[in-house]
Structure 1
Amino acid sequence: MKNTTRNFTMLAAAWLAGGLAFGQNTASVRGQLSSVSGQPIEYATVALFSAKDSLLAKGTLSDSTGKFMFEKVPGKTYYVTAGFVGYKTYTSTLINLTGNEVNLGKITMEADEQLLQTVTVTAKKPLVEQRIDRTILNIENSILAEGNTALELLERAPGVTVDDEGNVSLKGRAGVTIMLNGKLTYLSQRELTTLLRGTASGSVSRIEIIANPSAKYDAAGNSGMINIVLKKSDKAGINGSVYVNAARSRANRYGAGTNLNYRSGKVNVYGSYDRAYRGEIEYVSYVRRFHDGNPGAVPNRISYQDTRTNEPLYTNNYKAGVDFFANEKNTFGILVKGNFGKYINDNNTSNLLVSGAGDVLSRPQTHNDNLDRWNSTAYNANWVHQFDDKGREFSVDLDYSVNDNRSNQTMDTRYLNDENPSLATRSVRKGFVPSLTYVYVGKLDYVHPFGEKAKLETGWKSSYVDVDNNLNYDTLSNGQWVKDPSWSNHFKYKETIHAGYVNVSKEFGKLSLQLGLRGENTQTTSNQVTTDSLVKRNYFQLFPSFFATQTFNDKHTGQFSYSRRVERPDYSDLNPFRFLRDPFLYYEGNPFLRPELTHSLELSHSLKGKFITAINYSYTSDVMNWMMGQVDSLNTTSQSPQNLKSFINYGISFTASLQPASWWSSNNFVNVYRNQYKGDQNGGDLNNSIVTFSFNTQNTFTFGNGYSAELTGYYNSKTVYGVFVTKGYSVISAGVQKSVFSKKATVKLMVNDIFQGRQRIQRARYENLDMNGHIRFDSRMATLSFSYRFGKDIIPSRRRQSGSEDIQNRVKGGS
């Protein structure tokens, strides 16, 4: 019985391994499984073993007709095994592959009534999967993922850092494109950050990090792409899961959700819903020095600012879809998904302004209350047509989404007078920021194999984005609200992108080459309605890519890649309206921002697929960077995006996937890189560079009786971003889980950032700018969770994926 269970588990794991092939592909093996009564056996686990050493060569599942096939199998001697719950394991005679194909014909599997009630097929993906072209973090297998948001999950990915504004960097490079289920979000940075904060970890399946995407993907994203894949099941019958969690940081947090799936015959219906509340309390401090035009002199005034923010977040996520498998060649799908909720930023700020001699000049107290509400809905229609079983395929995707973001802001400042309280003055301003974004996307893709060693991929994509952002500010004067035209602003933005691509790949023995070219025509219109200012742009750019992979033997593989990519300005970055954080600090956009262009190269080596070394270099011109400015006479600091001259990043990284013991698996990532920014903003000469070291380790421990544990650690040394230099920090987290109810349910207990090391300490020195900052995140959190799965673990061999797998990350509109 134990051997049979182990065999089923091994076969399931073989399927999850994705059918790895080795050597030169020369033949295929096919067959069809059926019961004694002649009924096809669907979704049975089938494995191909080498006869010489009984090593697993490939794994797959039979389809809805019981058919299975192994392609591109080296010419050796093998045997095939097939297993399914309730049937005796089938083992074929030896198969000697010398021709192009071996057909085993119809294979009859005998029923085993004893196994029918006792055998369970189990398989578990590793926490971190390292592939030659991407790194995959399997979130649904992580203990420490519980109770977090998608934004916090990104910080766990190897080589990924997230700043306090939600900007994501990969291997020290900013400008990462974030996708959800392979689709660009077309959201502004602020809206995207809100969306990721509002996406519960319980709805995330995995995170894919693609450092150097091919021409098939959008050219946006100078530092690569990160794809957040949400959970979706298409198991046969009725399946699903429910979960609930409760957490405590400086405030309470909780979450609950469910997903359901029903598959029968040609129809697969699925849906999910998640709701979460995330309490958060954060502390921010700034020290700003004002020199009145003499940066090298002793400061004339110093501002000490301390802010306490209470940031509760309420979020809801839902999804519903249906796939229709019309026949073996045609699959249709419809999907509706959405996210709605509210985010409150209620903060109190004290600002003490003193003279160079230490005398108190001003002591304002500010209460800032921001309420953001959003409602995002996306629709997708999909059709995939497979011409044959050789991989020739045509797909169509149509997407439409609407994003409604509304922000209410109130800033109440009292300027205290210690000597005479009756002379205290008050300034009150309120703002209403509605932002509507409509996105329309159409995409066609075609794949045409030429034999087993060559393939052509081509496609077309058109997208249209319409953004309307109308900011209205009022000030309180003599008890009456009066419109403030100096801060109010109406901004409209329209963007159309037409893109076509072609990828050609070819195998020459152990050398694989891929050459791609993408062309994109971009048309934008920025309409500053308030000032009657119109800025139009129309430009066409080519984005080549090249990949070469050399397999030296079964242990060593090398790869070289090159790509040219673009990062367009965020829609909100182009909007010159001002957003006040307090009376002395505000953000404003820049309508004259230019796109930045990057050339990226990477050389990597893989040893046994477990040890990967990569050397990377990139050069970015017109790099966009949030620069700080200072008006000494007004004691005010501002921040706006500007184009610097260049940004250079180069470094080396090393990934090691280890198995120190049968119960311990460890994935470790080390990265050493150098960043350099050059520019001449505000008449100065910016040349800021630094060498950074980062280390990330993910460890999983499996014990007996259903117990397992997880320990992660992260360290990042001093970094540079434009004029800012940030001090290094480290984070350590741990968790334990127990499987209960016959492994259908799991109880987890975890603590994130045990020593509260996630703090951001920064300094900026440039021209007259002289500032220090310290942010203490609400990152130490203890979480207790419970999840339960129900239904059958029978997974079909065909999964429908949306053909527009690179659509939604720039609905850039909003404040």
Structure 2
Amino acid sequence: MKAKLHYITIIFFLVLQSPLAFAQNETINISGTLVEEDTNQPIPYATVAVYNSTSKDIITGTTTDDFGKFNIQVNNTNVYLQISFMGYETKTITDLPKTNNIINLGTIVLASDNEELDAVLVTGEVSKTVFKLDKRVFNVGTDISSTGMSALEVLNNVPSVNVNIEGEITLRGSGGVQILINGKPSVLADQSSNALGTITADMIESIEVITNPSAKYEASGTSGILNIILKKEEKQGWNGSISANTGIPDNHSIGGSINRRTEKFNLFTQFGAGYRSIPREREVINRNLTNNESVFSNGEEFRNETFFNITLGTDYHLNEYNVFTLSGNFAYEIEDQPSETNFSFFEGDNLISRWIRNETTEATNPKWQYEFNWKKTFQSNEDHTFQLSALGSFFGKDQSSLFTDATLEGENVDNNQRTATDFLQADYTFKADYVNPINKEYTIETGAQYVINDVGNDFEVQDLIGGEYITNQDLTNNFEWNQKVLGIYATGAYENETWGLKLGMRIENTELNTLLTNTSEANSQNFTNLFPTVHSSYKLSENFSLQAGYSKRIFRPRLWDLNPFFNIRNNFNITVGNPDLQPEFTHSYELTSIYKIGKASLSSSLYHRYTTEVVERVSTFQDNVTFTTPQNIGTNATIGFETNGKYSPSNWLTLTGDFNFNYFDRKGTFEDQVFDFTGKQWSTRLGSKIGLPADIDLELNGNYQSGFETVQGEQSGFAFLDVGVRKKIFKGKIVANLGVRDVFASRIQERFVNQPTFETYDYSLRGRFVTFGISYGFGKGEAMTYSGRRR
């Protein structure tokens, strides 16, 4: 309190003091640079006050700039300086050596005020979760906002959310989380770069957790939404970091981020470059049960990438009620995909032939992304808003591959081929949202969204025949895919301190057109669907609440589900798209209880999902070749239970856990074959974060995924362990990370297809990944790691 009164007094005198009070004949210039004692980093926006040595009255003052520098003029030599900043010991300077009316104090060091920081942590507002109708809101208190931690670390304090040391975000144990900034998609929310590194805890007002989205959000489902709400009055100054990473297999990158905030502008940029190699071991067995023939294949595939990317953007605060955002991103990737596969062909136990197939693939991938957003806040209520946004992106791929077969034993099976791919994809999203809180209890929302997806994939296969490459018309295609989705929604909500109800309706029209230009095969679909949502909540006490929700969702087939494209890396196991595929629809019901017991926060859910036109990958067999194609097969009724929690018994230990069990009932037919069966599936995740001495954090995450029955066979289960160690240096200005993913190389995926006439076995293993990174942060926040993950 004394510190606050001190700052208020300084500001009061700076505003009201009169120039006549210190009018003298000579002008003296006082300058210096302010830095931290521990890190030698500049301290921006610290208060520098000049006092009269006799009367002790304040004469004038200023603040340091972004680089900790200050320059102030006085007309009196009988003065002393007092320099202060929240979290640091106040420093008084009475020795002011003057040379030619210039007083240069050089570098001035401020030490941290540990007692003051401790007082803030003890007496400040504690972060807590508030339960709303269709979401949970985690309000960031001073216990977190004053720590200087990053946005990723703030997310890791949110119940049901986990962020591992490499920055990967999961919600209730599932990936695929959509990140929004102030309710909208943003380049800053890109998880594949260090974009979130420009956001620090003191900038965040709250984080909204949405697991069962209302009609406001597009009907195509995700595992959940995390909406980061930034404070309206963000601290000004510089913030950023640079980092370098290396790893085994090759995973090397450098990156950085810079953020500059002023009263009117927020300028941000991220950039990175690197090289990575992603290997995969693969084994496949095809068994023809009719004639007792078998094809064995095994080998190692690589995806090597050299990449560059840069993001530039700005927020412009026109005034208190209008904010404009403009940002863009460019990325460029150079791919190299060498692979080697060994084949063996048997009749019974007799080896007929053995050969090796080598692949050499090269590709270049340019990518653009840009965003414009306008948010207007009405004077009547800060929650009364209108938001308009436009996003666009482009992705291109120019790829060529050469496949060479060499017979090692037995019959000659040489089959040299080459392919060429010219791929172009453009996506556009236009969105408008209007929110009007009529009063404290009633709120209405409405808006619209229009999404355009335009893709062309020109794919050619050539066979080496008589020393010349000839186009294979059966495998060559030029596929065009165009999809337009228009969505309009409205919601109405009533909520008081105890309970609430929110009703919503979304209508979406989908226009889909596909065309195989070389065969003139076309497929056009135009359908309109209603997507109702209902959400309710009841608060029994401060520590126990119930939420119930219903929503209808849609899964629209993606490009590679529709494109009849032949991947001939292994030409005995081919995956082909289905242009006639229909969307699947899901009715989702959920009852969730959220409660706190001491230092533990728990959330448990009972859910039921009923899906029609389920998309399943179905295998067929011809001439010892397995063709896998997505098909719409019947219905799937799922009943499940999920519970997750977070427990922090002390400041140095946090335990997290997630358990999900579901029982499913599958019904359907395909080509006169009945697929009616029941099964179960469960998964669990246990994690611990341990704070060790010397600012070292240890993180252990164990995962288990059970096996489950499929429409044609089964998928095996697997378990794996990730370990990470982080060391903070100079209070987090430098951070070193060591991570080991899949420590025991046990994340093995096995798929079995068991049919009356054939059997297939597919084995895949990514293996162990070891990474080490070091990063340096400047400005207000800690150092952030640029992970260099795939965009």
The answer, yes or no, to whether TM exceeds 0.5 is: yes
Residue 333 of structure 2 aligns to which amino acid in structure 1?
G
Residue 283 of structure 2 aligns to which amino acid in structure 1?
S
Given candidates 639, 645, 668, the residue that maps to 2:657 is 668
Residues 708-766 of structure 1: per-residue CA shift (max 9 Å, x gap): 22111111121344434222211112222222124311122232222222111221213
Distance in 2 between residues matched to 1:766 and 1:127, nearest whole Å: 56
Distance in 1 between residues matched to 2:341 and 2:213, nearest whole Å: 44
Asked whether the 8 Å contact 2:198–2:259 carries over to 1, the reply is: no
Secondary structure at the residue paired with 1:279? strand
Aligned length: 658
Secondary structure at the residue paired with 2:89? helix
Residue 640 of structure 2 aligns to which amino acid in structure 1?
G
Change (3 A) 1:4 1:659: farther
Percent identity between matched residues is 22
Give the number of the structure whose alpha-carbon radius of gyration is greater: 2
2:173 is the counterpart of 1:159: yes
Change (3 A) 1:340 1:593: same
Residue 614 of structure 2 aligns to which amino acid in structure 1?
V
Asked whether the 8 Å contact 2:601–2:645 carries over to 1, the reply is: yes
2:266 is the counterpart of 1:290: no
1:431 deviates by: 1.1
Question: Who is 2:492 aligned against?
Answer: 504
Asked whether the 8 Å contact 1:489–1:530 carries over to 2, the reply is: yes
Question: Who is 1:520 aligned against?
Answer: 508
1:220 deviates by: 0.7
Change (3 A) 1:130 1:437: farther
Residues 663-718 of structure 1: per-residue CA shift (max 9 Å, x gap): 21112111111234332123211134422221112211223432222111111121
Given candidates 331, 334, 344, the residue that maps to 2:336 is 344
Question: Who is 1:269 aligned against?
Answer: 267
Distance in 2 between residues matched to 1:601 and 1:364, nearest whole Å: 53
Given candidates 557, 569, 581, the residue that maps to 1:581 is 569
Question: Who is 1:102 aligned against?
Answer: none
Q: Larger relative CO (CA 8 A, sep 6+): 1 or 2?
A: 1
Given candidates 418, 424, 430, the residue that maps to 1:442 is 430
Q: Which shows bigger deviation, 744-753 or 675-684?
A: 675-684
1:114 deviates by: 3.5
Residue 737 of structure 1 aligns to which amino acid in structure 2?
R
Question: Who is 2:384 aligned against?
Answer: 392
1:558 deviates by: 0.2
Secondary structure at the residue paired with 1:37? helix
Structure-to-structure mapping, 1:411-450, within 5 angstroms: 411-418=403-410, 424-450=412-438
1:118 deviates by: 3.7
Residues 760-799 of structure 1: per-residue CA shift (max 9 Å, x gap): 1221213434112221212x222222111101359xxxxx
Given candidates 721, 731, 741, the residue that maps to 2:720 is 731
2:620 is the counterpart of 1:629: yes
Asked whether the 8 Å contact 1:199–1:315 carries over to 2, the reply is: no
Question: Who is 2:788 aligned against?
Answer: none
2:257 is the counterpart of 1:281: no
1:567 deviates by: 0.7
Asked whether the 8 Å contact 1:243–1:258 carries over to 2, the reply is: yes
Question: Who is 2:41 aligned against?
Answer: none
Question: Who is 1:640 aligned against?
Answer: 629
Report the TM-score, using the length of structure 1 for normalisation: 0.74
Change (3 A) 1:235 1:530: farther
Residue 613 of structure 1 aligns to which amino acid in structure 2?
S
Secondary structure at the residue paired with 2:12? coil
Structure-to-structure mapping, 1:749-788, within 5 angstroms: 749-778=738-767, 780-788=768-776
Asked whether the 8 Å contact 1:371–1:408 carries over to 2, the reply is: yes
Gaps of 5+ in 1: 8-31, 41-63, 65-84, 87-109, 162-175, 186-194, 293-298, 795-810
Distance in 2 between residues matched to 1:553 and 1:579, nearest whole Å: 57
Question: Who is 2:23 aligned against?
Answer: none
1:157 deviates by: 5.2
Asked whether the 8 Å contact 2:198–2:258 carries over to 1, the reply is: no
Q: Which shows bigger deviation, 781-790 or 696-705?
A: 696-705
1:662 deviates by: 3.0
Change (3 A) 1:344 1:203: farther
Given candidates 553, 557, 575, the residue that maps to 1:569 is 557
Residues 108-136 of structure 1: per-residue CA shift (max 9 Å, x gap): xx988834734477999999999884799
2:672 is the counterpart of 1:658: no
Question: Who is 2:145 aligned against?
Answer: none
Change (3 A) 1:688 1:405: farther
Given candidates 249, 254, 257, the residue that maps to 2:252 is 254
Residue 291 of structure 1 aligns to which amino acid in structure 2?
L
Question: Who is 2:588 aligned against?
Answer: 600
Distance in 1 between residues matched to 2:609 and 2:308, nearest whole Å: 39
Question: Who is 2:684 aligned against?
Answer: 695
Residues 630-650 of structure 1: per-residue CA shift (max 9 Å, x gap): 11xx11001111101112222
Distance in 2 between residues matched to 1:511 and 1:230, nearest whole Å: 24
2:306 is the counterpart of 1:308: no
Residue 361 of structure 1 aligns to which amino acid in structure 2?
I
Report the TM-score, using the length of structure 2 for normalisation: 0.76
Given candidates 371, 387, 408, the residue that maps to 1:380 is 371
Change (3 A) 1:487 1:640: same
1:466 deviates by: 1.7
Secondary structure at the residue paired with 1:160? coil
1:259 deviates by: 0.2
Question: Who is 2:317 aligned against?
Answer: 325
Change (3 A) 1:38 1:270: same
2:610 is the counterpart of 1:610: no
Distance in 1 between residues matched to 2:331 and 2:633, nearest whole Å: 36
Gaps of 5+ in 2: 17-44, 46-62, 65-83, 92-109, 139-149, 201-206, 783-790
Question: Who is 1:82 aligned against?
Answer: none
1:470 deviates by: 1.0
> Stretches of 4+ moved more than 4 A in 1?
110-113, 119-132, 134-148, 176-185, 198-210, 226-235
Structure-to-structure mapping, 1:6-25, within 5 angstroms: none
Residues 572-594 of structure 1: per-residue CA shift (max 9 Å, x gap): 22222322231211111111111
Change (3 A) 1:623 1:260: same
Secondary structure at the residue paired with 1:35? helix
Distance in 2 between residues matched to 1:751 and 1:127, nearest whole Å: 31
Asked whether the 8 Å contact 2:591–2:605 carries over to 1, the reply is: yes
Question: Who is 2:469 aligned against?
Answer: 481
Question: Who is 1:104 aligned against?
Answer: none
Secondary structure at the residue paired with 1:218? coil
Residue 698 of structure 1 aligns to which amino acid in structure 2?
G
Asked whether the 8 Å contact 1:690–1:720 carries over to 2, the reply is: yes
Secondary structure at the residue paired with 2:474? coil
Residues 387-431 of structure 1: per-residue CA shift (max 9 Å, x gap): 12441111111222221123322222234443xxxx735211111
Distance in 2 between residues matched to 1:308 and 1:485, nearest whole Å: 29
Distance in 1 between residues matched to 2:731 and 2:648, nearest whole Å: 27
Residues 533-559 of structure 1: per-residue CA shift (max 9 Å, x gap): 222111111101111010011121000
Secondary structure at the residue paired with 1:580? coil
Change (3 A) 1:235 1:246: farther
Structure-to-structure mapping, 1:350-361, within 5 angstroms: 350-356=342-348, 358-361=349-352
Change (3 A) 1:353 1:234: farther
Distance in 2 between residues matched to 1:519 and 1:247, nearest whole Å: 48
Asked whether the 8 Å contact 1:125–1:138 carries over to 2, the reply is: no
Q: Which shows bigger deviation, 363-372 or 239-248?
A: 363-372
Residue 159 of structure 1 aligns to which amino acid in structure 2?
G
Residue 608 of structure 2 aligns to which amino acid in structure 1?
Y
Secondary structure at the residue paired with 1:573? helix
CA-based RMSD of the aligned residues comes to 3.9
Question: Who is 1:114 aligned against?
Answer: 89
